[in-house]
Amino acid sequence: MKRLATILVIFTALLLAACSSTATEETTPVDQAPDATAYPGPMSVGLPTITPYYPAPSEGGESEGGAKVITTYKPRTSDDNMKRGNVFIELKDSDIIVMESAPVQVNVLLMGNLPDPCHELRVVPTTDEAAKRVDLEVYSLTKKGGACITVLQPFEATILLGSFTGGKYEVFINGEKLGEFDS
């Protein structure tokens, strides 16, 4: 038994001696930088530049949600040569904006989808002062016989309605009530 204990003690001593280092390592002081030639510099790899087909959201022309921002929605004389189409209005996302000014200015924020990216938005606002009603006829136009990818094109458009005489007005989009505002 003593012999086994002696062998274990010697073995442990040899193991500890083997693990400890007797050579002193030279370390660089903290205030001195290592030799610049000791390490290779960073490699720069040139990647090909990719040009996107569609503008990035930060380039303008799109809202934060990715919808196309439309600023030209009024009918034009060249519209007679185009084919009329539908617009898919999101009434729950659209809104009436009443500006705090004198006189009160009213805008309508329209959110929705065009049938495809080739369609253009058109909005015709009409006001009936006697009935206290504003109607917006919203539709899209596309070139006759043109081919286009079949995918919905989200949009948002701010329609300037202008100022109104005092009273409560109702706003309708293609016959559906959007909401009311006080002028």
Tell me whether residue 35 is in a domain. Answer: no
**Alpha-carbon torsion (88, 134, 70, 101), positive or negative:** negative
Q: What is the pLDDT at residue 67?
A: 67
Residue 55 maps to a domain: no
For residue 145, what pLDDT is reported? 82
Task: Tell me, yes or no, whether 161 lies in a domain.
Answer: yes
Bridge partners (DSSP) of residue 180 are 170
Please give the tally of structural domains in the chain: 1
Could you give the percent of the chain with pLDDT greater than 70? 70
CA distance 123 to 139: 7
Q: Which domain holds residue 103?
A: 61-182
Q: Which two tokens stand for residue 30?
A: 């903290």
Please answer whether residues 85 and 141 qualify as being in contact, where contact means their C-beta atoms are separated by less than 8 angstroms.
Answer: yes
User: 58-79 pLDDT, tens per residue?
Assistant: 334 555 666 666 667 888 888 8
- 15 in a structural domain: no
Q: How far apart are the first and last CA of the chain?
A: 106
Q: In this predicted model, what pLDDT tens digit does every residue of 109-129 receive, in sequence order? A: 999 999 999 999 999 999 998
Tell me the C-alpha distance between 51 and 84, whole Å: 33
Contact criterion met (CB below 8 Å) for 134 and 126: yes
The reply to whether 54 falls in a domain is: no
Which pLDDT score is estimated for 40? 63
The confidence score (pLDDT) of residue 109 equals 94
Q: Specify the pLDDT at position 164.
A: 85
Q: What is the pTM of this model?
A: 0.61
16 part of a folded domain = no
**Can you spell out the DSSP letters for 89-140?**
E-TTT-EEEEE-SSS-EEEEEEEEEESSTT-EEEEEEEEETTTTEEEEEEEE
pLDDT at 52: 41
Residue 116 lies in a domain: yes
Inside any domain, residue 146: yes
pLDDT of amino acid 55:
39
pLDDT tens digits, 13-66: 776 777 666 555 555 555 555 555 566 666 655 555 444 433 333 334 555 666
Q: Which tens digits make up the pLDDT trace of 128-177?
A: 988 999 999 999 999 888 788 989 999 999 999 988 888 899 999 999 99
pLDDT of residue 111: 94
